[in-house]
Each structure stands twice: as C-alpha cells, then as structure tokens.
Amino acid sequence: MTASEADSTFEQLLESIYEGPFEPSPWSSFLEVFSSAMNASTVGIILWRPAHADQGFILLETVGQNWETEGENWETAGPVESSIRYLALDPFIDLPTGKPVTFDELVPDTKQLLESEFYAQYMQPMGIRYALGVDIHGPTGLEFRLRAARSTEASDFLFPEKSLCERLVPHIRRSIQIFEKMRKLESRHAVYEGVINQITTGMLLLDKSGQVLQINHAAEKLLMDESSLRVVDGQLKLKDEEGCQELRSLIHNACETQEQRTPAVTAALRIGNDDDTSSPISLLIRPIPQSTQIADGHPVVTVFITKPEETHDIPPEIVQKFFGLTKTESIVTCLIAQGISVEEIAKRQGTSVYTVRTHVRSVFKKTGVSKQTELVRRVLESLPSLR
C-alpha cells in the first residue's frame, strides 16, 4: 500500500468512526473499512458495561465470517444470549487499555496454542488462526472491544496493523463519548415524551419559527374533535382567518420574547366552534424558559389547549410522589382539587368526616398550606398536567 493509499484509508477510518454513533447499526461502516485495512477474514466489536453485565449487552457487530461454532443454533438465540456466546468466544481477557495485542503474544508457544482446548473447540472450527484485540474504555465504564482475525492460510498481525490500531484508539474513545451522550439524550427524550403524554391538558411544543414539534395525546384528541382548530403543514391554525392571524401574532410574540430574552406573560386566546352547542376552546401561549442559546428545532413555545368547563381526573400517584403524601392522603387531595366536599369524600371512601379532616390536616402540613383553596392552587400550579 502506497503512502497516499494509506492516508486515504486512514481518513476513511476516521470518517466512519465518527459516523458510527449515528448509524442504525453503530460502527458497521467502520468495521467494513477496518476489515479491509487489516486484511482480516473477520472483524467485530463488543460494546458493553462490565459493571452492569446483568442488564445485558449493549451492542455487538461483526463483519466478514460470522463468529459462531458448529452445531449451535445462533438464529434462535436472544440478543443477550448471543452476546454472551460471542463474549465466550473472545480469546482476550483484561487487555491493557488502548494497547493492541495479538493472540500469539499471549500464547507464544505455538505447540501449546495448537493443542489448547480453546483452539480446538472454537478457533479451528471457524478457520481462525490469528487474532488481534484492543480494549478501549469510555469515561463512564463503557468498554469497546475491537477484534480482528485471520485464517490459517494467512500470517499474523504485525507492527503496521498494530500501529494503525494505536492511531485509531483516541478517536474511538471520543466516538464512544458521543455514543454515550446520544444514548442519554435518547433516553431523556423517551422519558420526556412519556411524561407529556400523561398530561391531561392538550399541549403542543413549537420551535422558534412556530413549527409544531410535538403534540401530546390530549391535544391530538382535541384536534380530532374540534373543527375550528387544526395543524396544517406543521403550523397550528384556526378555521377563522381573523382568529388565525391573532394566533400567529401571539405565537410570533412568544418566539420573539425567547429570542430577545425579555420578560413576558402567558398570552390567552378564546375561540368558539361552528356548532353552537359545542363549548369554546381556550389557548394559552407560553414561552419556554431557556438557559442557553436557542437552536433550530428546539421547543421555545408551549401552547396549552383546554375546554374551560371540562374537568379532568387528577392522578393520585403523581400527587403522592410530588408532595410526599401517603396513598390515602393523595386520593383525598385529588378529590379536593376537583371541588369535591369533605362530606362527599367521606361518603365515597366509606369513612367518617373526622377521618377525612385528619388526612386534610396532614396534607396541609406536608404541602405548607392552611386552607383548602390554597391546597387546590398549590396542586394546580405545581402540576401542569392538572390544569
């Protein structure tokens, strides 16, 4: 390989390393380039967190000849079981981090190697004679095991291949950091999406151009039921043109407020329906507080959609966790917040008014209020899902 070809290959390796975290099968492109650069019959990575092995393995990818043994049904194995089998086939244990090591360096006695049980049961059936491994550790304990193998007809991995691997190590380590950050963001997004879908008030998130980024389940239902309000081409619109212009203006003002970091208040818009028997809808347009520069595609405005006279069941489990109440106290609190009297609560719960009042006093103490009206306001202000 000429110097120019080597430079070109190294550039391809770097490009594929940093693209790896974003691929559907992470680092699959890198393994393709790496296999060719190493002149290997098979290459692979095992990405896992040893301290949390009981939670399963995160990722396993191979290119070239599959790492499997004869007589084992790999197709029917689950992902964790398959990963355990691959891990069992890995001939390297506790390699020094970032240092490429060949199998022959660990077992320099060729006769001993060829007579070993591992070679007879695993390497020989797969046609593998030579192997090279590099272990790279991420900052949070994630381990990236890079492996390459050659057949019995080939020769061992030498200085040029080991040197190439050493040059790749710092780039792989940074790529692992990107991968971990992406996984955290994806996890947070999944949790966040789940939370807003539990909110019983209709809720839409808009970016700085007014484009709808996300709609929760409650808003989807309202939009399906109401003829006067729609999302068209990613924009929230009203059927009435005058009202539509007013809505656009309120959203624009909210976006400008965020862009200029100026104080603002929540704007409101009340709209009617074509059907006189149908109740009006209230829209609340609220800028989202931002601590950093607003990036494209990030939510900057929340639009709440409600029917003022509608009441919603308040989830006791959320109130219980939020305020540190007992299960019974949270049920009593939710019923009070819905405007139900102490006497009616006692009747529903099959207990005495005195018992309910005892629970109410305990709730007052835990929430720092002294009146039922204050309790209702505290609950509604603290939990946007209850508005």
Instruction: Count the neighbouring beta carbons within 10 Å of the beta carbon of residue 270.
Output: 10
pLDDT at residue 40 in the model:
92
- Mean pLDDT, consecutive 10-residue stretches, the chain (387 aa), reads 80 93 88 93 82 52 56 41 55 86 86 79 81 87 88 91 94 90 70 62 83 85 81 86 85 77 71 61 77 62 73 71 88 83 89 91 88 77 52
Q: Is 33 helix (H, G, I), strand (E, B) or coil?
A: helix
Which CATH architecture fits 3-189?
2-Layer Sandwich (3.30)
Output the pTM of the full model: 0.51
Structural domain spans, the chain = 3-189, 200-306, 316-386
Sheet holding 212-215: strands in order across? 212-215, 202-206, 301-306, 281-287, 267-271
Looking at the DSSP bridge assignments, the partners of residue 301 are 206, 287
Identify the pLDDT of residue 180.
Answer: 83
Q: Bridge partners of 10?
A: none
Q: How far apart are CA 352 and CA 350, in angstroms?
A: 7
State how beta strands 281-287 and 301-306 pair: antiparallel
Q: Specify the CATH number of the domain 200-306.
A: 3.30.450.20
C-alpha to C-alpha distances, 218 to 142, 230, 238, 239, nearest whole angstrom? 39, 14, 18, 20
Hunting for tokens 């407020």 — which residue is that? 257
Structure tokens at 76: 């029917």
- The token pair at 86 is 């691959």
What lies within 8 Å, CB to CB, of 241 at 6+ separation is none
Residue 218, amino acid = A
d(CA 78, CA 71): 17
200-306: same fold as 3-189? yes
Contact between residue 308 and residue 268 where contact means Cβ atoms under 8 Å apart: no
Cross-strand pairs, 238: 229
CA–CA distances in Å: residue 13 to residues 59, 81, 168, 170, 334: 20, 30, 8, 13, 58
CATH number of 316-386: 1.10.10.10
